[in-house]
Amino acid sequence: MSATFEPEAPQTLEGWFVLKEVYSVDWPKWRALDPETRDKAIASAEQWLDVAPSDRQGGSAVYSVLTQKGDLMFVHYRSSPDELNRVELSLRQLPLFEFLVPAGSFLSVIELELDELAAIARRKLTDQGIIPGAEQYDEFFETEMAKQKQRLKDRLFPKIPNTRYICFYPMTRRRGGRVNWYTLAENERRELMRGVGRIGHAYHEQVTQIVSGAIGLDDWEWGVSLYADDMLVFKKLLYEMRFDTASALYAEFGPVHVGIRVNMDQLGDLLTGYLT
Amino acid sequence: MSATFEPEAPQTLEGWFVLKEVYSVDWPKWRALDPETRDKAIASAEQWLDVAPSDRQGGSAVYSVLTQKGDLMFVHYRSSPDELNRVELSLRQLPLFEFLVPAGSFLSVIELELDELAAIARRKLTDQGIIPGAEQYDEFFETEMAKQKQRLKDRLFPKIPNTRYICFYPMTRRRGGRVNWYTLAENERRELMRGVGRIGHAYHEQVTQIVSGAIGLDDWEWGVSLYADDMLVFKKLLYEMRFDTASALYAEFGPVHVGIRVNMDQLGDLLTGYLT
Amino acid sequence: MSATFEPEAPQTLEGWFVLKEVYSVDWPKWRALDPETRDKAIASAEQWLDVAPSDRQGGSAVYSVLTQKGDLMFVHYRSSPDELNRVELSLRQLPLFEFLVPAGSFLSVIELELDELAAIARRKLTDQGIIPGAEQYDEFFETEMAKQKQRLKDRLFPKIPNTRYICFYPMTRRRGGRVNWYTLAENERRELMRGVGRIGHAYHEQVTQIVSGAIGLDDWEWGVSLYADDMLVFKKLLYEMRFDTASALYAEFGPVHVGIRVNMDQLGDLLTGYLT
Amino acid sequence: MSATFEPEAPQTLEGWFVLKEVYSVDWPKWRALDPETRDKAIASAEQWLDVAPSDRQGGSAVYSVLTQKGDLMFVHYRSSPDELNRVELSLRQLPLFEFLVPAGSFLSVIELELDELAAIARRKLTDQGIIPGAEQYDEFFETEMAKQKQRLKDRLFPKIPNTRYICFYPMTRRRGGRVNWYTLAENERRELMRGVGRIGHAYHEQVTQIVSGAIGLDDWEWGVSLYADDMLVFKKLLYEMRFDTASALYAEFGPVHVGIRVNMDQLGDLLTGYLT
Amino acid sequence: MSATFEPEAPQTLEGWFVLKEVYSVDWPKWRALDPETRDKAIASAEQWLDVAPSDRQGGSAVYSVLTQKGDLMFVHYRSSPDELNRVELSLRQLPLFEFLVPAGSFLSVIELELDELAAIARRKLTDQGIIPGAEQYDEFFETEMAKQKQRLKDRLFPKIPNTRYICFYPMTRRRGGRVNWYTLAENERRELMRGVGRIGHAYHEQVTQIVSGAIGLDDWEWGVSLYADDMLVFKKLLYEMRFDTASALYAEFGPVHVGIRVNMDQLGDLLTGYLT
């Protein structure tokens, strides 16, 4: 066995660092405030969100969370963990923070596997009827790959999709004695990932999926965010996924959070209970 | 392997979005209220429930929960997650909410598998002595299926059954290395689901069972609500189920909540401890 | 496969509904009370216990719980879940409740399997030297079964055994991929249950064991209560059980609570810390 | 299969009942006390510990716990669960208790297996070069066993070892489908326990190990307390154990607590933060 | 089987005892302080950190923790558990402590396996092109080993690496029925550890890794601290590790904490929310 180190892990490219924070509102305490103080707290919170960075620097979004898992979810895209830390610290100084009870958070970084780019390129060709073995396939593939690489910046540093709903869950690949993602051969893993890709592709007009890596950053290996205007699509897409081998055998899922997008100027409505 | 995506998941139809919320009452704090303030809090809560939507829009029900798992369970059926979010937000603005401590919640959507319709049709025929292979079986089957489809709306958008007791638990199909629902062949799954259906059918006069899907919405895959006037029936039905293969090998169950239905105008009795 | 439903689950008979509730006392808050208010709180709590139902209606008992798992355990036997709900609600209205912090609860119903009756009858005969195959065995068996059925009411609707100690734990039969109680053949389960019965029988003069079913009522499948005047007997009995196959392979145990019986008029002593 | 019950569990002898209680101090609340009230609280707590029973009745010790798992650990040896209950109740009446937040507890009873006595006797002989098969081995063995039985009282009713450090953890024998302590043959279990004994023996001059049984008393099957003057010895002994088959395959370990012994008259130093 | 005890566990050398403590700040309570009192609390906390021991005695560092897992992480290296206990107790007496909510801690001791030294020596030679079998290999190896042993003190008693980021997680070797680190043969374990070493070596210019043992001290077997100036390196290194057999099959990981180093004189900035 050679002492030279040969990396086995798929090569990844990284984009925005992402922080998700869920809070429950301490409603009785909040409602006990006099209207003026409440308005000031809302105004300073809206301002805090408003000074959110330009697109080059990332973005922030707020969601009204369903169920007792929380009331508010903040999603922040930033170019470094230091900037996310500043976002956290500044939120904690807001008057509103006195009424927020931490209910969950996740740190990750948007990532793309190089293999995934190639898979996308192949699917684009297939959609046009250009199938491996076809004449000039290699040329077409190279051209498509070049396009994909151009689009890379948009995929690694996207805007937060402006859909009505978000569905977020963390996940980990199974590392059991019998079933273990990390002891599969590279081509087996690639084949399995293709299945995942196909299902995602089938829903790509209805759902935007953003995958971020969390190994070494948080307790799960990945975070998956789905953005759509129809909440049933989350269920349909993920139910399909369940039957896909990569998911059926090798995926372990963490807690699911679903939320409804709240515009900056709706925060007051949400906090007075009259979100429409 | 073809790049075309062929769905493997059973096709489902969706109805009401469902929210269950369990709360513990902070009794000492509540009892410290002066009677007048308490009465007002009860009145506004009863009014909140009373403006519950008409049947077309869903419905709401309250249960007195047994054990320390909680005191109150609210069940809400609505036509969209947005409406459920409004229900949540409006509850949080009630004076009563100051005395409610969150103790559990579950978001799902009532669902029916197309396969299930066919199974019901077959059972109806069997009950009349019409067995596959019988003369004109196909015709009878088509007629029965048509009836089932007509009843679909009632099953996807039902009223909350008006029974004395509720039993609710979430569940997930097992996805282990050795035993995995999602790697079974389609006909195996169908066969197993038939067993589940038979047991449900055997108890259908005593129990109404409403299954809702929660993949992509909450942490378990399904929510199961049983409604009956005899609490022992829950135990007997579920004990039978335990021995059915689909359940014995492939089901993982979450926490069970049982409650006693409380009419809108009984909320005050419950909160003063004199429910009859 | 026939569409007729043939129950596989052992047939059970049900008696009292049982509620166990454990509470920690908020000692500092309690001790800050002036003696008069404290005495009144004790008096009303003792009265609450005192109006406990007659034997026909069940019974109630209080235990001083060992360790930080709690301070007080209430055990209530009642003829319906509604009555247990009333017990809960009335406790929550007591002044004492302000000083009780919920620390665990369990809802179940005393149950007996018909098979168990037959097993008891057989053991009774064996104790008298009458062994299967013996002359007139069947006659003796029938006579003994008739006696057992007469005793049924006492076993389904017992008084709470008046011993110094209680040991309570919930349990569930294992439903794993490799080892699964619910996929065993009926005669295998019966044989295994016989082992359990034999050990229980060996200790029956020292321990009264009351098993209650909780499927569809709470998160474990059964609750097991042991009542004895010597706490070491709990350890010895359960250590024996551990080696019995039914237990070694098929049982999963929940948290154990042990307590010392407190008479109604000792509640004040317990709450002032001078229980003898 | 005979209806006679033949115990399979190893025969055990029991000594002191043992209660361990861990508490976190509510430091800000404690530090807000005026010095005089604080001194009185310390004095009454020291007195409470001081009236600890004579050796015949057991003993009590206090430890300063490392990490956020707690601040104080009390260890109590008593001759009955009733006495331990009285210890608990009396602690809860102390002014100091207002500043103690429960952080863990364990109830068990010091136990010795008869087999263990024989194993010790054999090891003693081996240490003197007297090996099975040697001349007069049986006589030597009988003499040694007699000595061990004389020492029994000291081992079942020991003083709390007066070392600088304690390491406590609960454990359970594995009862899995594949690997199951309780389905092993008796001689296999005995052989495995010998390995455990050998490692313990190798460290016996540096560490005193006291094993107590908790089946039917608490949530784990045993509690293991190690007492030593060098904390690294805990790590070295337990690392060795990890590789021993009985431990590698059959042991599941609970949370570990390590503490530094605090003399009765040091409690004040500990609570003012100046323990030396 | 001989009664002589032959240790199987790898031989380890120990250095600093290490305590990690994570705290959440109670921001609303903290922000409600008047500026003067706040400044005093910051000053006394900075002074507390400042009297940190000289290098001979260890060191202390503070990190701003990302996500809701906490706000502050303290890392302390000391020469004994007693000194760490004193650090804990003195922190608890600080005015700042009133605003700190415990959120996690870990006790361990920096350790090095003798095998690891040899592995490092071999790698150093390989890096210079000196491969086993080469002329004078044994001489070179001895010389290199001597150098490693000289560096031992620095590795067992290091300064806390002064990097911008820390990543900490505890881990345990798997002890399952099918996959069990502790039943592997010694040479298998050694071979597997070589893989771990190779990956660490590949990243050694970007990351400093400090491994500490926690068997008998805390609930996991080891603590792993990674120190780097680029947070993505944590992800890349650990993703590589995931595919290494020792990790893929035999490692179970606990919660991950990442933080940004805060200088002593930045504590005030952090606590006023303006960390740069």
Q: What's the CA gap between D79 and B27, in Å, rounded?
A: 40
Any CB–CB contact under 8 A between E177 and chain D?
yes
For residues B176-201, one letter each, b for 16 or more C-beta atoms within 10 angstroms of the residue's C-beta and e for the rest, the string is bbebbbbebeeeebeebbbbbbbbbb
Judged against a pLDDT cut of 50, whether residue B2 lies above it is answered with no
> How much of chain D, in percent, has pLDDT values that exceed 70?
95
Lowest mean pLDDT among A137-151, B19-33, C47-61, D224-238: C47-61
pLDDT of residue A117: 83
Residue with tokens 């956290």: A88
Q: Which of E21, E86, E100, E14 is nearest to E52 (CA)?
A: E86
The amino acid sitting at A150 is: Q
ipTM above 0.90, yes or no: yes
Which chain C residues contact residue B177 at CB under 8 A?
177
Whether the per-residue pLDDT at A56 is higher than 70: the answer is: no
**Mean pLDDT for the stretch of residues D184-213:** 92
* Ramachandran sector of residue E216 (left: φ over 0; alpha: ψ -120 to 50; beta: rest): left
Expressed in percent and rounded to 5, the helix, strand and coil fractions of chain C are 45, 30, 30
Per the model's pLDDT, the better-predicted residue between C274 and B95 turns out to be: B95
CB contact under 8 A, B244 and C12: no
B52 and B60 Cβ atoms separated by less than 8 Å: yes
The CA distance from D239 to the nearest CA of chain C, in Å, is: 28
A172 and chain E: CB distance < 8 Å anywhere? no
User: Which residues of B does the annotation mark as catalytic?
Assistant: 169
Q: Do the Cβ atoms of E260 and A98 come within 8 Å?
A: no
Please report residues of A whose CB lies closer than 8 A to that of E67.
19, 21, 88, 105-107, 218
pLDDT score, position D6: 65
Of the partner residues A176, A202, A235, the one whose CB lies closest to the CB of residue B213: A235
Confidence at residue E1, expressed as pLDDT on a 0 to 100 scale? 35
Is residue E167 within 8 Å of E63, Cβ to Cβ? no
Q: Which of E152, E244, E163 is nearest to E209 (CA)?
A: E163
Burial class, B250, CB count within 10 angstroms (exposed 0-12 / middle 13-18 / buried 19+): buried
Give backbone dihedrals phi and psi of B215, rounded to 5 degrees, phi first: -60, 130
Residues 6+ apart with CB under 8 A from D142: none
Q: Which of E27, E242, E276 is facing A215, going by the closest CB pair?
A: E242
Checking if the pLDDT of B121 tops 90, the result is no
User: Is B69's CB within 8 Å of C105's CB?
Assistant: yes
- The residue among A114 and E160 whose pLDDT is bigger is E160
Q: Which residues of E touch D230 (CB under 8 A)?
A: none
Reported confidence tier of residue D5, pLDDT bands at 50, 70, 90:
low
Find chain D residues with C-beta within 8 A of C64's C-beta: 85, 89
Flag if B249 and C183 touch (Cβ within 8 Å).
yes
Distance between CA atoms of D72 and D64, rounded to whole angstroms? 5
Q: Which band of pLDDT confidence, cut at 50, 70 and 90, is reported for residue A4? A: low
Interface test with D, best of C242, C253, C274 (most D CBs within 10 A): C242
Q: Verify whether residue E169 is a known catalytic residue.
A: yes
**Positions of chain E with pLDDT lower than 70, given as ranges:** 1-7, 51-56
**Does C123 sit within 8 Å of D9, measured CB to CB?**
no
User: Residue B51: which pLDDT band, with cuts at 50, 70 and 90?
Assistant: low
SS3 annotation, chain A: CCCCCCCCCCCEEEEEEEEEEEEEECHHHHHCCCHHHHHHHHHHHHHHHHCCCCHHHCEEEEEEECCCCCCEEEEEEECCHHHHHHHHHHHHCCHHHHHEEEEEEEEEEEEEEHHHHHHHHHHHHHHCCCCCCCCCHHHHHHHHHHHHHHHHHHHHCCCCCCCCEEEEEEEEECECCCCEHHHCCHHHHHHHHHHHHHHHHHCCCCEEEEEEECCCCCCCCEEEEEEECCCHHHHHHHHHHHHCHHHHHHEEECCCEEEEEECHHHHHHHHCCCCC
- Searching chain A, which residue's CA lies closest to the CA of residue E25? A92
Q: What integer pLDDT is reported at residue E211 of this predicted model?
A: 96
The domain made up of E13-110+261-275 has a fold known as Alpha-Beta Plaits (3.30.70)
Query: CB–CB of C89 and B165 under 8 A?
Result: no
The rounded mean pLDDT for chain A is 91
Taking CB atoms and an 8 Å limit, are E238 and A215 in contact across chains?
A: yes
Q: Please tell me the distance from the alpha carbon of residue B189 to that of residue E126, in angstroms, as a whole number.
A: 56
The minimum CA-CA distance between D134 and chain C, rounded to whole Å, is 36
What are the CA-CA distances from residue E138 to residues E121, E131, E132, E150 (Å)? 11, 10, 8, 18
Residue C186 has a CB neighbour count (10 Å cut-off) of 12
Residues of chain C under the 50 pLDDT cut: 1-3, 55
Average pLDDT of D49-65?
77
Decide if A198 and B3 are in contact by the 8 Å CB cutoff: yes
Return the residue of C nearest to D85 by Cα. C66
pLDDT at E2: 39
Chains with 3 or more CB pairs under 8 A to chain A: B, E
Average pLDDT, chain D: 91
Which of 145-164 (D) contact E at CB < 8 A? none
Higher pLDDT, D219 or D47: D219
Burial of E174 (0-12, 13-18, 19+ CB in 10 A): middle
What is the structure's pLDDT at D1?
35
> What is the structure's pLDDT at B116?
81
Mapping DSSP onto H, E and C, the string for B247-273 reads HHHHEEECCCEEEEEECHHHHHHHHCC
Whether B160 and B85 have beta carbons less than 8 Å apart is answered as no
From the list D14, D217, D183, D81, the residue with the least C-alpha distance to C238 is: D217
> What percent of chain A shows pLDDT beyond 70?
95
Contact by Cβ (8 Å): E26, E101: yes
pLDDT band for D91, please (50, 70, 90 cuts).
Answer: very high
The pLDDT of residue B50 is above 80: no
Cβ contact B5–A260 (<8 Å)? no
- The pLDDT value given to residue C3: 43
Residues 236-255 of C with CB under 8 A from B: none
C133 has a chain B CB within 8 A of its CB: no
pLDDT digits (tens, 9 = 90+) for A131-183: 888 888 888 888 888 888 888 888 999 999 999 999 999 999 999 888 999 99
Q: Of C221, B205, E63, E223, which is closest to residue A81 (Cα–Cα)? A: E63
Give the separation between CA B16 and CA B14, rounded to whole angstroms. 7
How high is the mean pLDDT of chain B? 91
pLDDT digits (tens, 9 = 90+) for B142-158: 888 888 888 888 899 99
Whether chain A has a CB inside 8 Å of the CB on E123: the answer is yes
Amino acid B146: pLDDT:
86
pLDDT score recorded for residue C2: 40
